[in-house]
C-alpha cells in the first residue's frame, strides 16, 4: 500500500488525486491529522487513518501495511520541522516500508541561505541514515509563492521587495502529478531527483513585466533594503524569526540557489510544465478587484 501524508494539504491532496488516476484506490492510504477532512477520499475507497508526526503511535497505525510512504514536508522551519520529519521516517521504517519518498526542495543544502532548504538537507541526511531506499523529490520553488509576494502590488502596481535572483517557479499541480508518477513507478529515482522545475527562471523584474502583460496595467519593480523589508514584516506583526527566515528566500535567490532549469519534470509529465503566467492569470481570475 502507498501511504501519503498530509493528504488534505495543498500538495498532498493533489498528489492523491493524481495517484488515483494511476493505481486502484484500495492500494492508497492517507495519513491525516483530521480524518473528517479526508472523508471524500474515504468515500472513493482510499484508506484514511489519523496520523500526526508528533504522535508515534498514531503514525504506526496510519502506516500499517505500507510498501511506500511519501512524507510530505511540514509547513514549519527549524529544529521542530526536522524532528517531525525524522519521526515520520522512523515510523515508515518501523512499518516495514520498502521505500520512503520525501518532498524536498531544489535548493536543499546545509549551507543554503534559506532555513527551509537547510531543513530539507537535514531531512535528506536522516533518509540516507535510515537504512531504507529513498527518493527525495527536489521540487522547484512554488509558483504560488511568487503570486503571494506579488499580492500587495495588485492594488498599487508597485512591487517593492529585496534584491532577488532568477527562480524556477513551479506549479503545485505539476509537482503533485510528478510525485504520483514516481510513486506509481517505484524505484525510478534513487536518492535525490534532479531539480523538478518549471521551464524558465524569472526574477521580480521579469514578473513585473509579466504582470503588466497579464493585467494591462503598469507594474514597477523597486528594490527595498533587507533591513527595511525586515522592519516592514515585523511592523505587520510577523515574528522576527519568521521574518528573518522569509528574507532568506531573497538571499538564496541572489546566490542562484533556485535558478536551475531542468527537463526532468517535463519528462515525468510528458508535457511542458505550467508557466508562472498561468499561475498569475489564475490568481487574477479569482480576484478581479485589483483590476478595477
In a domain, 60, yes or no: yes
* 147 domain residue, yes or no: no
In a domain, 125, yes or no: yes
pLDDT at 214: 87
Helix or strand (DSSP H, E) at 105: strand 99-105
In degrees and rounded to multiples of 5, residue 4 shows phi and psi of: -120, 125
pTM for this prediction: 0.94
- With 0-12 / 13-18 / 19 or more C-beta atoms within 10 angstroms meaning exposed / middle / buried, residue 105 is buried
133 belongs to a structural domain: yes
- Is position 78 within any domain? yes
* In a domain? residue 80: yes
Tell me the CA distances in angstroms from 246 to 76, 235, 240, one per residue in order. 12, 14, 10
pLDDT of residue 176: 98
Q: Is residue 67 part of a domain?
A: yes
Q: What is the pLDDT, as a whole number, of residue 291?
A: 33
Number of domains the chain contains: 1
Summarised one tens digit per residue, pLDDT across range 42-101 is 999 999 999 999 999 999 999 999 999 999 999 889 999 999 999 999 999 999 999 999
Closest CA to 37 of 57, 16, 63: 16
Intervals of the chain under pLDDT 70? 284-292
CB-neighbour burial class of residue 112 (10 A; exposed 0-12, middle 13-18, buried 19+): buried
Residue by residue, DSSP assigns 117-134 as HHHHHHHHHHHHHSSS-E
| Domain with 75 in it | 2-139+171-192
Task: Give pLDDT, residue 70.
Answer: 98
End-to-end alpha carbon distance in the chain: 50
* CATH code at position 125: 3.40.50.720
| Eight-state DSSP code of residue 67 | S
Residue 265 lies in a domain: no
Amino acid at each position: 500500500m502507498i501511504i501519503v501524508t498530509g493528504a488534505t494539504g495543498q500538495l498532498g491532496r493533489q498528489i492523491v488525486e493524481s495517484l488515483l488516476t494511476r493505481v486502484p484506490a484500495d492500494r492508497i492510504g492517507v495519513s491525516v491529522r483530521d480524518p473528517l477532512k479526508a472523508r471524500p477520499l474515504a468515500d472513493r475507497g482510499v484508506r484514511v487513518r489519523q496520523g500526526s508526526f508528533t504522535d508515534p503511535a498514531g503514525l504506526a497505525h496510519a502506516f500499517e501495511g505500507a510498501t511506500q510512504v511519501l512524507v510530505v514536508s511540514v509547513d514549519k522551519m527549524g529544529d521542530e520541522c526536522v524532528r517531525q520529519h525524522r519521526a515520520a521516517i522512523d515510523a515508515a521504517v518501523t512499518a516495514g516500508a520498502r521505500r520512503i519518498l520525501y518532498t524536498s526542495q531544489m535548493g536543499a543544502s546545509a549551507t543554503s541561505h534559506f532555513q527551509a532548504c537547510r531543513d530539507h538537507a537535514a531531512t535528506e541526511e536522516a533518509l540516507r541514515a535510515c537504512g531504507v531506499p529513498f527518493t527525495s523529490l527536489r521540487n522547484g520553488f512554488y509558483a504560488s509563492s511568487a503570486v503571494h509576494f506579488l499580492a500587495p502590488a495588485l492594488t498599487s502596481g508597485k512591487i517593492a521587495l529585496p534584491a532577488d535572483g532568477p527562480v524556477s517557479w513551479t506549479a503545485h499541480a505539476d509537482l503533485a502529478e510528478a510525485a504520483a508518477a514516481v510513486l506509481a513507478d517505484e524505484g525510478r529515482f534513487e536518492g535525490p531527483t534532479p531539480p523538478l522545475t518549471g521551464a524558465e527562471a524569472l526574477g521580480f523584474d521579469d514578473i513585473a513585466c509579466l504582470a503588466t502583460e497579464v493585467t494591462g496595467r503598469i507594474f514597477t519593480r523597486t528594490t527595498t533594503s533587507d533591513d527595511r523589508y525586515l522592519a516592514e514584516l515585523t511592523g505587520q506583526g510577523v515574528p522576527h524569526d519568521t521574518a528573518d527566515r522569509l528574507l532568506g528566500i531573497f538571499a538564496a535567490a541572489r546566490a542562484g540557489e533556485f535558478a536551475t532549469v531542468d527537463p526532468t519534470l517535463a519528462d515525468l509529465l510528458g508535457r511542458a510544465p505550467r508557466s508562472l503566467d498561468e499561475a498569475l492569470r489564475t490568481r487574477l481570475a479569482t480576484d478581479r478587484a485589483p483590476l478595477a
